[in-house]
């Protein structure tokens, strides 16, 4: 295993090179085809079957071991209480910057976990659905802060996760449309006591907010395991610009797209606009709110150029 180059930041972690981590796959079979994998990969992200074999199969094997340990603890508690302990979902949080590929990671983790008989019901919820509606953001004058902590209905999100960990059935999560850039009023995602719930979002590992004399709860308090997808900011900006250019040729051309106006830009103008958005919004959010939560994760996936997964950092127990 590699010696961490930043001992202060990575002291609580064991660092694995890609090759070292891949050996921990321990013969886990590959349940995905190339076609299935590509349906899970976000626009401008790049994930190969080799990435799944080297990085994701060992990761899911680890999560399975943790999940099974949690079930054993549940059984022990239930026996102690005379069979009255309620089984609740195992919750996994996945965080990271805009354009880092955390949505791909979340979908792949969900699919691989669901393919293993140990946890047949695996749901995925994104925190985009808990963004405040555009009308509310406009009324508060923070439309330009969408994605920042204050742009979320944090009370509703916290209540949803608390209800999940209380074992409540038939919980409704709001749905967000990236096409119209807003909450879809007449649609919800129902979550009904899954074995595992994956929660993906920019700020899911964040703690903080206004000082209070009362004890505060955070979404991350309810996570059993957490992952941060990491990359250097220069790469993140590059990937964001590349994605913006691809959207300019695809989704932005949809008449119902909130960003329809950007489809009329030239390639040079699009790069300028994308860089400005990164500089004024996404980069600021990354440095102020997202990146500081990296060391709260149980596991960090570090990407290099071309979205290559290069290193894995696992928190020491």
Q: pLDDT exceeding 70 applies to what percent of the chain?
A: 93
Coil, helix or strand at residue 167 = coil
> Where are the chain's structural domains?
7-206+216-315
pLDDT surpassing 70 at residue 213: no
pTM: 0.94
| Distance (Å, whole) CA 66 – CA 190 | 26
- 2 band by pLDDT with thresholds 50, 70 and 90: very low
Query: What tokens were used for 292?
Result: 């500081």
Average pLDDT over residues 247-265: 96
**Helices within the chain (DSSP H only):** 7-10, 18-22, 34-38, 49-51, 57-80, 102-114, 134-139, 154-165, 233-249, 267-277, 283-285
| Distance (Å, whole) CA 241 – CA 146 | 18
Lowest-pLDDT range of 80-89, 125-134, 184-193, 251-260: 80-89
Dihedrals phi, psi of 98, to nearest 5 degrees: -55, 135
Average pLDDT over residues 275-298: 97
pLDDT tens track for 137-176: 999 999 999 999 999 999 999 999 999 999 999 999 999 9
- 3 band by pLDDT with thresholds 50, 70 and 90: very low
- 116 band by pLDDT with thresholds 50, 70 and 90: confident
pLDDT surpassing 80 at residue 118: no
How much is the pLDDT for 7? 46
How much is the pLDDT for 207? 82
CATH level 3 topology of 7-206+216-315: Rossmann fold (3.40.50)
pLDDT surpassing 90 at residue 9: no
Strand 171-177 relative to strand 182-191: parallel, antiparallel, unpaired?
antiparallel
How much is the pLDDT for 269? 97
Beta bridge partners of 131: 152
Angle between helices 267-277 and 233-249 (to 10 degrees): 140
How many CB atoms sit inside 10 A of residue 218's CB?
18
pLDDT tens track for 26-65: 999 999 999 999 999 999 999 999 999 999 999 999 999 9
The DSSP output letter for 209 is -
| Distance (Å, whole) CA 119 – CA 255 | 41
Task: Round the average pLDDT of the chain to a whole number and report it.
Answer: 93
Do residues 201 and 125 make contact, with C-beta atoms less than 8 angstroms apart? no
Do residues 129 and 75 make contact, with C-beta atoms less than 8 angstroms apart? no
End-to-end CA distance of the chain: 17
| Distance (Å, whole) CA 6 – CA 151 | 33
Question: What CA dihedral angle connects 28, 30, 32 and 38, to 10 degrees?
Answer: 100
1 against 218, higher pLDDT: 218
Average pLDDT over residues 215-234: 94
Nearest to 157 by CA among 108, 215, 223: 223
């Amino acid at each position: 295993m590699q010696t961490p180059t930043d001992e202060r930041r990575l002291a609580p972690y064991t660092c694995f090179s890609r090759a070292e981590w891949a050996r921990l796959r321990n013969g886990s079979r590959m349940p995905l085809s190339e076609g299935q994998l590509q349906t899970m990969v976000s626009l401008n992200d790049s994930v190969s079957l080799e990435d799944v074999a080297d990085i994701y199969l060992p990761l899911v094997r680890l999560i399975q071991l943790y999940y099974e340990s949690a079930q054993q603890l549940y059984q022990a508690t239930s026996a102690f209480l005379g069979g009255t302990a309620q089984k609740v979902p195992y919750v996994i949080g996945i965080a990271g910057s805009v354009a880092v590929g955390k949505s791909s990671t979340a979908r792949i983790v969900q699919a691989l976990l669901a393919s293993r008989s140990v946890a047949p019901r695996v749901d995925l919820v994104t925190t985009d659905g808990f963004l405040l509606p555009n009308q509310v953001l406009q009324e508060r004058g923070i439309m330009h802060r969408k994605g920042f902590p204050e742009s979320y209905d944090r009370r509703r999100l916290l209540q949803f996760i608390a209800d999940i960990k209380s074992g409540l059935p038939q919980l409704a999560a709001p749905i967000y449309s990236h096409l119209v850039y807003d909450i879809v009023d007449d649609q919800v995602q129902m979550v009904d006591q899954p074995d595992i719930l994956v929660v993906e979002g920019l700020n899911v590992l964040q703690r903080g907010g206004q000082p209070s004399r009362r004890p505060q709860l955070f979404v991350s308090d309810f996570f059993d395991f957490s992952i941060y997808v990491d990359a250097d900011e220069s790469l993140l900006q590059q990937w964001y610009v590349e994605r913006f250019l691809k959207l300019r040729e695809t989704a932005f051309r949809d008449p119902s797209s909130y960003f329809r106006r950007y489809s009329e830009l030239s390639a040079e103008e699009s790069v300028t606009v994308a860089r400005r958005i990164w500089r004024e919004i996404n980069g600021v959010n990354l440095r102020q709110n997202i990146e500081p939560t990296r060391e709260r994760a149980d596991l960090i996936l570090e990407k290099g150029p071309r979205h290559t997964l290069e290193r894995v950092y696992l928190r020491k127990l």
